[in-house]
Structure 1
Amino acid sequence: MNYDTFVDQVARRVRTDPERAVVLVHATLATLAERLTGGEVLDLATQLPAPLRLALRPGPGTEAAEQFGAAEFVARVARRAELDEPAARDVVRVVFGTVHEAVSGGEFDGLVTRLPRDYRDLVEPALAPGMAAPRRA
């Protein structure tokens, strides 16, 4: 999947414009990068369009994953994207779903297995075909 298609898919599903979708995607991917090890981030980044790799770039000293649950994940996305938490939860589900479509099934499955059980509510909708569209973000 190319970059424009990725952003357009998120924009359509979240019911927002492409410029806002870019902010939402970057907020989600930057938070995901904090939650994964540096190697896991690089594995995922290699399968995403080049402009999205910037959001996933691990910083210095980020080889170890930060350990935080789904609620904190959503809270971080909400802060980064200036959303309320229910809207951020919907955005995370959409971005995860679009990542699932953009990368190989094995890579996404591996990502899912590295997340704690409390992430299930965020990840399972990504596994369903034709994800439900959330409210406007």
Structure 2
Amino acid sequence: MNYDTFVDQVAWRTGTAPQRAVELTLATLETLAERLTGGEMLDLATQLPRPLAIVLRPTPHTEAADRFGAAEFVARLARRGGVEEPAARDVARAVFVTLREAVTGGEFDELITQLPRDYRDIVEPALAPGATLRRA
């Protein structure tokens, strides 16, 4: 999936303008990068458009995953994205659905296995059979 399509899908799913969708997507990916191991971040980054992949590049500081739950994920995303926590949860869902569409070869499933069960509410929409590319 190219960059513009990714952004358009997040914008459509969040009901925001494309520039705001970029900000929210980057905030989500930065938060996800804190939660994933360096290897998993790199695997995911190789399948995303460069402007999005940059925030997933592992560094010595981010090589090990920070083991936080879904509530902390949403709280961090809310702070980064400048939104309330219920909106941050919706943003995370939109980005996860779009990630599922953007990556291939089981990479999304590998990403999900690194997240504990309490993330189910956030990632379940991405796992639903009807979670496919939508056109406005």
TM-score by length of 2: 0.92
Partner of 2:125: 125
Gaps of at least 5 residues in structure 2 are none
Answer yes or no: is the 8 Å Cα contact 2:97–2:131 preserved in 1: no
Cα deviation for residue 56 of structure 1 reads 1.2
CA offsets per residue over residues 58-88 of structure 1, 9 Å max, x none?
2332211001000000000000000000000
Partner of 1:3: 3
**1:77 counterpart = 2:77:** yes
Separation in 2 of the partners of 1:24 and 1:43?
21
Equivalences, count: 131
Structure 2 counterparts to residues 1-137 of structure 1, below 5 A: 1-104=1-104, 106-128=106-128, 129-130=130-131
Percent identity between the aligned chains?
A: 73
Cα deviation for residue 105 of structure 1 reads 5.0
CA offsets per residue over residues 78-119 of structure 1, 9 Å max, x none?
000000000000000000000000001510011111110100
Separation in 1 of the partners of 2:64 and 2:19?
31
Cα deviation for residue 130 of structure 1 reads 3.9
TM-score by length of 1: 0.92
Cα deviation for residue 127 of structure 1 reads 1.4
Describe the shift of the 1:100–1:117 C-alpha distance in structure 2 as closer, same or farther (beyond 3 A).
same
Separation in 2 of the partners of 1:130 and 1:106?
16
Separation in 1 of the partners of 2:17 and 2:131?
20
- Secondary structure of the structure 2 residue equivalent to 1:68: coil
What CA RMSD, in Å, does the superposition of the two structures yield over aligned residues?
1.1
Q: What amino acid is the match of 1:83?
A: V
Q: What amino acid is the match of 1:25?
A: T
